Amino acid sequence: MNPSLSRAVASAPTRLLFANPRAVFRGYPVSGISVTYIHTHTRLHSRSHIQTQFCQRNPRISLTSFSTSSTKKSSMASTTDLIESAKRAACRQAVADHFSPTFTYVGIGSGSTVAYVVEAIAELGASVTSKMKFVPTGSGSTALIKNAGMAVLQVPDLLTEVGYDPETTEHQPIDIYFDGADEVDAELNCIKGGGACHFQEKLVSRLSKRFICVADSRKKVDRLLTSWAYVPVEVTPVGAEFVRRELLRIGSKDPKIRTSGPTFIRTITDNHNHIIDAPFPKLLLNSEKDKLDPANGLWTPDALLAKIKSIFGVLEVGIFTGFNGPDVAKLGTEIEGVKPVKAYFGRSDGQVETLG
């Protein structure tokens, strides 16, 4: 690495930890700036240098020969920047509206957007965050919390720490839970699980007083499965093919066991399970249950969730619907509360739209 760049990295302020949140989310920090961030700049410089030398040695080829590719990449970079700015704006507004220095336990989700939530919380300083413990929903969010210098408390350790007395134990010990979503409909029902963490996300949500959803405006839809094509289903590996066939039987179009990498190895969750991505037609709202007609592919989020969960071998389904945290506090502990109380959607114009 260039010595001057090395000195810059070594002296980088803590806030630059999130200069490239996706890279940090994967756990590759180097003195506050991610490896990807440094290498990107190195590669860009090297590419420009190589192109210039190539043209000098080949007079009939000008630098404009590279312009089309460069323009496309520049446009893609600009779009990515707008999306990331929208995510950051949503997260900062959500933290400003709902985060309190009095919190003891804070849930941190697994979506890439949540990197900006952690960024905003970390900026409050150790005088605030050192009094709290942060509960992750997977290995990615665990790395995020650690990289920000904040205390990680896994769910089993949280439950041990709060103890259990049937008469007095707080059923929702986590003060607030921040996470993203793949889609959010007009009733705040969500599709989650694109990152294969929806079981732990549901667990943390059930233990939380409030779930605050953060996303960019692309994730806001009238009805689920409008843009996002499938329902993620976590299954036991030995039962994966059985579940896939049952999903076909109830109307899913070509459900596939998720694979990753160039060799298409089956994706393994943090719980050592597999994921089936099950496409279904666009869902109704729960308020439209009078139109429910599974034989013709018309499902409400509540009905489809219940049907898929009834399949033998299914651990959890990436539909977050039903009640939210405050509902549980009123109705009783046997109720599942996994729906957000509010969603924040960052827009490309810098504004933040809310729902709930």
Which residues are part of the catalytic machinery? 201
- Decide: 317 and 247 in contact? Cβ < 8 Å: no
Q: Is 203 exposed, middle or buried (0-12, 13-18, 19+ CB in 10 A)?
A: middle
CB within 8 Å of 239: residues ≥ 6 apart: 312, 313
Which residues are registered as beta bridge partners of 234? 275, 316
Burial of 173 per CB tally in 10 Å (0-12, 13-18, 19+):
middle
Per the CB < 8 A criterion, the answer to whether 194 and 232 are in contact is yes
300, 286 Cβ separation under 8 angstroms: yes
Residue with tokens 């665990």: 142
Q: Is 149 helix (H, G, I), strand (E, B) or coil?
A: coil
Rounded distance between C-alpha atoms, residue 249 and residue 247, angstroms: 5
Torsion on CA atoms 284, 328, 156, 269, rounded to nearest 10: 0
Enter the DSSP assignment of 174.
B
Measured between alpha carbons, how far is 206 from 155 in angstroms, rounded to an integer?
A: 11
DSSP string for 243-272:
HHHHHHHTT-SS-EE-EETTTTEEP--TTS
Element (DSSP H or E) covering residue 206:
helix 198-206
**355, 345 Cβ separation under 8 angstroms:** yes
Q: How large is the angle between the packed helices 139-147 and 114-122, nearest 10 degrees? A: 30
